[in-house]
Structure 1
């Protein structure tokens, strides 16, 4: 496999599982130093051990971070800078589904706020505090994992859909703010991907989402990781402020 990320430092939030873990594996195989940000200590360590033993990826560190908490984000990024002296890539995969399979009148306000805190405020916190580190070297790649739900809206998932629409808007705005630098800011909107988080959803909600996909299947983690690797590579130097799709044909604009 090509070593596109040799000498680069990558932070992956939600890196202990799901899309984040697949991204850590792909970028690590291509030479990146991986910094996993997650709230799950045991899962992070298990991921780091697996990357080392199964894929010979040795340059991995674990940082307990709540992306919804600005101080937690700042402290972890300071630790990354102290250890490595730079930050080249940030992929924000941390997210929660929240209430699903229910109409808006059955969604509690606190539950709605929690989804926005993790998915949208977390994206804001990570982007805001990664940019100064990248600006020091005038290079960086920021990718925020959004969702097709943020473009089309998924019935029964108003909190999640709202949060991911905000993530897309954030990437578009900040990408333009930094368009004259060598830092790109983009979003990725997958359709339903086969992850543990999806497996924990109500079957009728999963069917609702997969029925909308012309390919009639979930996306695979390897497919997400391959797309991510291109977006955060030096090759994608003319892409910024954009929302990439990974939807099996569902996206129509």
Structure 2
């Protein structure tokens, strides 16, 4: 028997020993841990810098977004990608828009799981501290409602808004009239469910007069991710706002 034959036979014999099997199992477990940690790190970086998930806490954006829908938000807006008319944006409360909310206690295990899911971007426990509305006015825009046809106008251009939900028999896109000019670095936002949305129109008594600072914007909602039956890309309806920018000049 040659030396090479004996060596190969010895290696095959060693691979079946308990210590060898234990070493293989440990290597396999190590690889699993490394893969898991890399996946968690990548998920954290994506959630922090690119996209994250939110759920819809109210009916103010129906029928575009239904309460408890999950949405994916592009966080490159507005720092990298500018906000445009018609964008659906998620933003932090500018102050006084949301009622004070008592902290909810959770069992330790549930709290730990929720924290981890939030860490990797699969859960959004702070959704109730944010709002979701559609951008109607950008800095410098003159937004007025309503004309004789019940339409809102931006910079003198009447808007025909197919996304707006109105009560049966109602044609006026806002119950209350308004006439505002959007300050620098701010937005005028409104819910699509116009008669059931506490948006810029109804926060004019707050310190910022109903306007939302650009810095409060978390990002633009791009897709409904859950439930599957509601899956859709979210449009900003550029045809609705055609000519608005020219009217501002």
Which TM-score band (shorter chain)?
under 0.3
TM-score, normalization: structure 2?
A: 0.25
More strand by share: 2
TM-score, length of structure 1 as denominator length:
0.24
Higher helix share: 1
Of structures 1 and 2, the larger Rg is shown by 2
